[in-house]
Structure 1
Amino acid sequence: MAEVTRVPLQPIAKGSLLKLWLGVLVAVLVAAGVAWAAMPKGLTVETVTAGEGPNPTESSVVFLDYVGKLEDGTEFDRSPESLQMPPEIAAMIPRGVPMPVGDMVPGFSQGLLQTQKGGTYLIEFPGELGYGDTPPPQSDIPANAGLSFEVTVHEILTEEEFQQLAQRVQTIMMQAQMEAQAGESGAQAPAAPPQ
């Protein structure tokens, strides 16, 4: 049987093993840094003016004023200045537009969860947390656009509180409509002849 050629093992030079492990560590850190830089940035919520009290939950309805902008600063949406409604109803409803937290695009919902009543916040998020590649029809929002919203939170209601408010408003509106119809029918009825 033939003898296998023997290769003598050389001793490892002092410090070589340490250099090997340092090289592996540097390679891992560089790869992680490149991967992190390539990842899209996530949701950020900046407090402009601090609010007070508890944060909303997924089932909350938040009354707020907002301005929505694209990454280049182009405004694409704004809450209306005021809603036209009878004074008795306007006095019942908190200022702002009611928005159910759980029914918004993910970035907006996640941002609202970090707000408080009375505060103003800047919520920014990438396209994948917004409308992704299917923006709303007839909007100026391009596909995969990052969005930012400046929001002022006026009130936070639970779903139950909001439903109770909606029922009270509906009752008042129905009463006002019935009174208006009664007034119209009374004005149209012929006057009784004098006797």
Structure 2
Amino acid sequence: MKKIIITFLLPLCTLVALAQTKKAVPSKKTTTVKKATTAGKTTAPTFKSTLDSASYSFGIGMGSSMKSEGLITLNYELLIKGFQDALNGRKTLLTEEQSRQASNNLFKSISAKKNAPIIAEGKAFLENNKKQTGVQITPSGLQYQVLTRGTGVKPAATDTVLVHYKGTLLNGKEFDSSYSRNEPLALPLNGVIKGWTEGVQLMQTGSKYKFFIPYDLAYGERAMGQDIPAYSTLIFEIELLKVTPPKQ
């Protein structure tokens, strides 16, 4: 099941982080491209070498990638300093880990602002849903209802479970279902989203539960293809059919 297995994506800003930390041998000669002026007006720079055109191309590539992620401005003075420090082999002002963390934090804040409406919708839904009859809440914020209570064994996180399931968004749109394929799915319980790993361990074999999963226990700030937007609160109906312990 492609949508359930967790994958981790690096932000497109990794190129900046690496540029700040990766050392390169400085070239012996560089060509500076200056803007020409005519009668007080600034004209486009001219490219006098392959280095000039390639340098500009690097800027286009980075700028386009960042803009596609919602970034519209940078501290250009520090951006250039980061490049110069790395290319000249100087000690950088941030470690590789600090650079990566700073980049991640920036893109997370941009994404959160962009997706504020869907975050608010999820919070409002969960706040109202926890008042509904039969809804229970775990310390992590996972909400669930017992539709059918089984009598079999409960799985551990290291077990493989055989399940039937259906997943929907808050608007009722179904994005995945083993029922539609008429085929249950076997999967390792420690290889799925947090809401599944925690929730299915509450079930006994033969049970059917309905889970209301906050975005931070689902796919977080990441979108999953065209069907699941970033920051989505998800609803799953899960039927636990079989539990298989790991092979010794």
TM bucket (normalised to shorter chain) is: 0.5 to 0.7
- How far apart are 1:56 and its partner, in Å? 0.7
RMSD over aligned Cα, in angstroms?
2.1
2:229 to 128, 142, 166: 142
Determine what percentage of the aligned residue pairs are the same residue: 30
The aligned counterpart of 2:156 is: 57
Whether the aligned pair in 2 keeps the contact of 1:67 and 1:151 (CA below 8 Å) is yes
Higher relative contact order (CA 8 A, sep 6+): 1
- Cα deviation, 1:18-48, whole Å, max 9, x if unaligned, reads xxxxxxxxxxxxxxxxxxx99x762012110
Structure 2 Cα separation of the partners of residues 117 and 144 of structure 1: 31
Structure 2 Cα separation of the partners of residues 118 and 53 of structure 1: 6
- Number of aligned residue pairs: give it: 111
- How far apart are 1:53 and its partner, in Å? 2.4
The answer to whether residue 216 in structure 2 is matched with residue 128 in structure 1 is yes
**1:62 counterpart letter in structure 2:** V
Whether the aligned pair in 2 keeps the contact of 1:61 and 1:100 (CA below 8 Å) is yes
Structure 1 Cα separation of the partners of residues 219 and 246 of structure 2: 25
- How far apart are 1:154 and its partner, in Å? 0.8
Matches within 5 A, 1:72-151: 72-79=171-178, 81-82=181-182, 96-136=184-224, 138-151=225-238
- How far apart are 1:135 and its partner, in Å? 2.3
Structure 2 Cα separation of the partners of residues 53 and 118 of structure 1: 6
Structure 1 Cα separation of the partners of residues 169 and 197 of structure 2: 17
Structure 2 Cα separation of the partners of residues 81 and 116 of structure 1: 24
TM-score, length of structure 1 as denominator length? 0.52
Structure 2 Cα separation of the partners of residues 59 and 158 of structure 1: 7
- How far apart are 1:144 and its partner, in Å? 0.5
The aligned counterpart of 2:166 is: 67
- Cα deviation, 1:132-175, whole Å, max 9, x if unaligned, reads 11122x241011000111011110110118xxxxxxxxxxxxxx
Matches within 5 A, 1:37-56: 42-56=141-155
The aligned counterpart of 1:156 is: 243
Q: Structure 1 unaligned segments of length 5 or more: list them.
A: 1-36, 84-95, 162-195
Q: Structure 2 unaligned segments of length 5 or more: list them.
A: 1-122, 128-140
Whether the aligned pair in 2 keeps the contact of 1:45 and 1:114 (CA below 8 Å) is no
Structure 2 Cα separation of the partners of residues 45 and 157 of structure 1: 23
**2:227 counterpart letter in structure 1:** D
**1:81 counterpart letter in structure 2:** R
- Cα deviation, 1:166-191, whole Å, max 9, x if unaligned, reads xxxxxxxxxxxxxxxxxxxxxxxxxx
Structure 2 Cα separation of the partners of residues 59 and 139 of structure 1: 30
TM-score, length of structure 2 as denominator length? 0.42
- How far apart are 1:73 and its partner, in Å? 1.4
